[in-house]
Structures are given as C-alpha cells and as structure tokens.
C-alpha cells in the first residue's frame, strides 16, 4: 500500500507524511505536521502546524487537531471532535486590537497510545489523555484522564475502565481486579490507576 492524498486535500509541502497514509477530500495538514506510518485523515479534518501523530492514527471526518497536540501510536479521534489549544481565548487584546500570533501561547492536548476520543468530544488544552483511555462521544475534557479510564459527560468524569480492546471492563471475583469481556485479559486497579496484569510497559 502507498500513501494516498486526494486532489482536494491541502497538505503543506513542509509536512511529513509517512508511508501508507490516506489523506481524504478537503482535509488540511499544516506546515511542520508529522504523520506517522499508516495514518488516516478523514474528509475535512484539520491537522495544525507542528502537530505530531504516531503510527496508525485515525482522525475522522471534520475533526480538528490544533497545534501543538501530540498523539501517540494508534490514537482514534472521532468525527467532529476538537483538540483545542487556547486556554483563555480572545479575538482581541484588552485595548481592542486584533490578537496576533505573538499575543498568546498555544498549549496542546497530549494523547497516549491506543486512546480514543469520541465523536464531537472536546478536549480543552492543556490536558493529557492516558494510554488506552476512552473519551465518550460529546464529552468535554477539562482535566487529565488516567490510562484505561472511561470518561463521559460535561465536564467529563470517570465512570469506569476500558481495556485495550475498547470495551468496558467487568469486575473480577478478586477485589481490585478487572476483566475484559471480549479478550479475557485481566487488569489490576491500585491507587486510582489500572495496569494490565503482567504488563511492564503500559
């Protein structure tokens, strides 16, 4: 498979697009952005200046990923989701003059390996979404999300845990132990964190 960039897509010559990527109609990839191997950028999606995507990320239709976001391998960003970059947004300065690039400091969203952000969710920078976490559709994330956490609502709150397969975990017979209903993989909860049993690198 080779990289496919649709004629209507706007990909800066200063962006780096690795092998096996697909950039679909009307998507925009800005200067200095880096797309890892096998990424899929959906119709109308926006990848900001200097944004970095790991391998095999999927940015769905009309999602907006503003700089300086950093996405690890295998991140999913759902349709029309937004990763913001301005904590205190204003179009003008206190004196009424139009803000320029030198009048504010962009801050980014960081997303760990395998995590998912659902359709129309908003991640308000600066926040970190932990590896394999899931942000539900329509949620508004205003604080960091632990690895494997499932968060929902406005503002987003944790309601459970998810495994690598993305399905909510079920309590095991042993307290503090969780099981994936699809793979049978066991996870251990300790002090508000979740780790896969036998895993040393998650």
- Looking at domain 1-89+102-162, its CATH class is mainly beta
Q: What is the pLDDT of residue 202?
A: 47
Per-domain residue ranges for the chain? 1-89+102-162, 164-202
Cα dist. 154→75, 143, 178, 199 in Å?
Answer: 22, 11, 26, 32
Whether the model clears a pTM of 0.85, i.e. scores above it, the answer is yes
- CB burial of residue 201 (10 Å; 0-12, 13-18, 19+): exposed
Both tokens assigned to 13: 């010559």
pLDDT in tens, 36-89: 999 999 999 999 999 999 999 999 999 999 999 999 999 999 999 999 999 999
pLDDT by 10s per residue, the chain, length 202:
689 999 999 999 999 999 999 999 999 999 999 999 999 999 999 999 999 999 999 999 999 999 999 999 999 999 999 999 999 999 999 999 999 988 889 999 999 999 999 999 999 999 999 999 999 999 999 999 999 999 999 999 999 999 999 999 999 999 999 999 999 999 999 999 999 987 644 4
Give the residue from 112, 133, 136 showing the smallest Cα distance to 122: 136
Q: Which of 50, 59, 78, 64 is nearest to 21 (CA)?
A: 59
Radius of gyration of the chain (CA): 18
């Amino acid at each position: 498979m080779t990289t496919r960039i649709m004629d209507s897509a706007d990909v800066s010559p200063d962006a780096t697009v690795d092998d096996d990527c697909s950039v679909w109609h009307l998507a925009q990839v800005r200067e200095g952005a880096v797309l890892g191997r096998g990424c899929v950028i959906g119709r109308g999606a926006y990848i900001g200046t200097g944004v970095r995507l790991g391998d095999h990320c999927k940015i769905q239709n009309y999602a907006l990923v503003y700089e300086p976001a950093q996405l690890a391998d295998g991140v999913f960003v759902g349709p029309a989701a937004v990763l913001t970059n301005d904590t205190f947004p204003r179009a003008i300065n206190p004196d009424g003059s139009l803000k320029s690039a030198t009048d504010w400091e962009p801050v980014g969203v960081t997303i760990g390996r395998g995590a998912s952000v659902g359709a129309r969710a908003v991640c308000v920078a600066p926040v970190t979404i932990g590896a394999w976490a899931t942000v539900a559709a329509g949620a508004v994330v205003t604080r960091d999300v632990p690895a494997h956490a499932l968060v929902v609502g406005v503002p987003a709150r944790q309601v459970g845990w998810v495994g690598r397969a993305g399905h909510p975990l079920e309590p095991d017979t042993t307290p503090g132990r969780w099981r994936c209903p699809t793979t049978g993989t066991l996870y251990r909860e300790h002090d508000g964190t979740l780790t896969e049993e036998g895993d040393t690198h998650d």
